[in-house]
């Protein structure tokens, strides 16, 4: 199956669940390999947030992604609808920090995606196929992933509450089943939680039009429950959204008991961690790299040897085999180099921007099976120009083009952009040596 974007743009508006601020959200088609990208049009330069679990900032009453400077709150319903409806690449423009809550479910978003239609793209889908059982357990929560040819979820909740109790719902996630059985399920809370939610500054946009409230003997909502087990279906909806932070469509059977945003993200980290350290005959298995596919951090680390704190790229898209690629780096305020460069005036060192471009080019070369036993060393850096500073919260787009490629030596041109602004450029040569 190939990747999809939306066939045409569309917009929705309404208050955010927690901020209460009215927000307009606009979905626009994106090229193959772009992934899901939030764009904060209300901020200078319209900074972008590429959706991936490394960008998770908070999980209190919802999932927040981005950096301290640029973030988007409560994105799980949108991500759930995009994932389940088969949208791989899309720009999501916001004019505030939190998308509209709509009716508290994902149905308005799923309906709008269906109405807009999907536009197939030439690049194949880049699935993350779970190849072994992975189990996460914390307190009373258990989440398990097992190999599957599709995407199945068995979700259970357990509340010591007379109106909730134990509920369980299982489904193979397809666009049709999602629309009918999952998307309409609304967010919910218990009546005695409301005061504490407001005291912490949350729920300013919440009311009975978008939240189901359970008291000890009654359901308070706009209309009746949409399903007798609506709460567990909404938990499953949230889980789909959080799992989409993997950045690739998931092939797995998921069994979740008492899931929640924090546990969902920790579970996702464990899946990636356990699959990234798999070895075949003592070597990391090279992922299959195809033009237009997004190569995420777990696969990057199978190809190049760099690790934290010197891994300078979050994901890469090969745009022309052996010739061109684009790397992406979200510059967080927590980067270790900002501690000393410079205190009170943090600026990303120019040499590290060049290093990020070089790592992108190394991935392009070393992903070839015949070069899997090689390493790349710098030989020279020429015509380097640093045009604008790169600051915390910026998203770097690293465009590299191979100028010359011989058996052992290569020459590459690199350009780094923040938005539409060229911030750094350089040409560099490197030599391939045996590990």
SS (H, E, C) 338-360: HHCCCCCCCCCCHHHHHHHHHHH
- Residue 260 and residue 383 in one domain: no
CATH number for the domain including 226?
3.30.1700.10
pLDDT in tens, 151-210: 999 999 999 999 999 999 999 999 999 999 999 999 999 999 999 999 989 999 999 999
CA-wise closest residue to 294 among 281, 322, 313, 271: 313
Domain end (from 120, 137, 156): 120
- Residue 367 and residue 404 in one domain: yes
Domain that holds residue 60: 2-120
pLDDT of residue 288: 65
- Residue 139 and residue 267 in one domain: yes
Q: Residue 283: is its pLDDT beyond 50?
A: no
pLDDT of residue 13: 98
Radius of gyration, CA atoms only, the chain: 22
Helix, strand or coil, per DSSP, at residue 320? strand
The mean predicted confidence, pLDDT, of the chain is 91
Active site residue 77: no
Residues whose CB is less than 8 angstroms from the CB of residue 170 and which lie 6 or more positions away in sequence, other chains included? 152, 153, 154, 155
pLDDT band for position 373 (cuts 50, 70, 90): confident
pLDDT in tens, 297-311: 778 888 888 887 788
Q: Does residue 359 lie in a domain region?
A: yes
pLDDT of residue 285: 54
In this prediction, residues 213-234 reach a mean pLDDT of 95
Q: Does residue 176 lie in a domain region?
A: yes
pLDDT in tens, 114-156: 999 999 999 888 899 999 999 999 989 999 999 998 999 999 9
CA-wise closest residue to 77 among 238, 249, 248: 238
Q: Residue 278: is its pLDDT beyond 50?
A: no
Residues 34 and 29: their CA atoms lie apart, in Å, by 10
- CA geometry: angle 209, 210, 215, nearest 5 deg: 85
pLDDT band for position 111 (cuts 50, 70, 90): very high
In this prediction, residues 267-274 reach a mean pLDDT of 92
Given a contact cutoff of 8 angstroms between Cβ atoms, the answer to whether 96 and 19 are in contact is: yes
Question: Alpha helices of 277-404 — where are they, by DSSP H?
Answer: 297-303, 350-366
Q: Does residue 287 lie in a domain region?
A: no
Helix, strand or coil, per DSSP, at residue 380? strand
Q: Does residue 284 lie in a domain region?
A: no
Instruction: Give the containing element (helix H, strand E) for 264.
Output: helix 261-276
Q: Does residue 323 lie in a domain region?
A: yes
* Active-site option among 50, 93, 261, 263: 261
Domain end (from 95, 120, 145): 120
Neighbours of 263 (CB within 10 A): 22
Instruction: Count up the domains in the chain and report the number.
Output: 3
Active site residue 93: no
CATH number for the domain including 422?
3.10.129.10
- Residue 253 and residue 164 in one domain: yes
Domain end (from 276, 305, 330): 276
Q: Is 48 left (phi over 0), alpha (psi -120 to 50) or beta?
A: beta
């Amino acid at each position: 199956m190939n990747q999809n974007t939306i066939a045409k743009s569309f917009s929705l508006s309404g208050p955010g669940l927690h901020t209460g601020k009215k927000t307009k959200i606009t979905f626009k088609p994106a090229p193959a390999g772009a992934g899901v990208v939030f764009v904060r049009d209300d901020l200078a330069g319209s900074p972008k947030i590429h959706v991936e679990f490394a960008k998770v900032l908070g999980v209190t009453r919802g999932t927040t992604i981005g950096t301290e400077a640029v973030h988007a709150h409560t994105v799980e319903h949108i991500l759930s609808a995009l994932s389940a409806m088969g949208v791989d690449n899309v720009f999501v423009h916001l004019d505030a920090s939190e998308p509209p809550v709509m009716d508290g479910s994902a149905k308005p978003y799923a309906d709008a995606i269906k109405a807009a239609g999907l536009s197939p793209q030439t690049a194949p889908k880049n699935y993350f196929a779970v190849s072994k059982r992975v189990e996460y357990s914390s307190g009373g929560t258990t989440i398990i992933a097992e190999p599957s040819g599709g995407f199945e979820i068995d979700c259970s909740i357990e509340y010591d509450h007379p109106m909730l109790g134990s509920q369980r719902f299982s489904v193979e996630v397809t666009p049709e089943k999602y629309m009918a059985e999952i998307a309409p399920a609304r967010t919910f809370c218990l009546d005695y939680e409301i005061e504490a939610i407001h005291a912490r500054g949350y729920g300013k946009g919440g009311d009975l039009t978008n939240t189901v409230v359970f008291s000890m003997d009654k359901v308070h909502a706009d209309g009746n429950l949409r399903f007798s087990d609506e709460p567990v279906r909404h938990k499953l909806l949230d889980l789909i959204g959080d799992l989409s932070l993997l950045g690739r469509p998931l092939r797995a059977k998921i069994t979740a008991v008492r899931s929640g945003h924090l546990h969902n993200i920790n579970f996702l980290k464990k899946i990636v961690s356990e699959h990234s350290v798999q070895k075949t005959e003592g070597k990391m298995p090279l992922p299959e790299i195809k033009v237009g596919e997004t190569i995420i951090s777990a696969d990057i680390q199978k190809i190049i040897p760099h690790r934290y704190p010197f891994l300078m790229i979050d994901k890469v898209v090969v745009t022309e085999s052996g010739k061109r690629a684009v790397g992406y780096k979200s510059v967080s305020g927590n980067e270790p180099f900002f501690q000393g460069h410079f205190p009170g005036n943090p600026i990303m060192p120019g040499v590290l921007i060049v290093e990020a471009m070089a790592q992108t080019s190394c991935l392009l070369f070393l992903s070839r099976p015949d070069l899997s036993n090689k390493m790349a060393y710098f030989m020279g850096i020429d015509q380097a120009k640093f045009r604008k500073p790169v600051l915390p919260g910026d998203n770097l787009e690293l465009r590299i083009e191979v100028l010359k490629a011989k058996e052992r030596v290569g020459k590459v041109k690199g350009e780094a952009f923040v938005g539409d602004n060229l911030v750094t450029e350089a040409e560099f040569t490197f030599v391939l040596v045996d590990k």
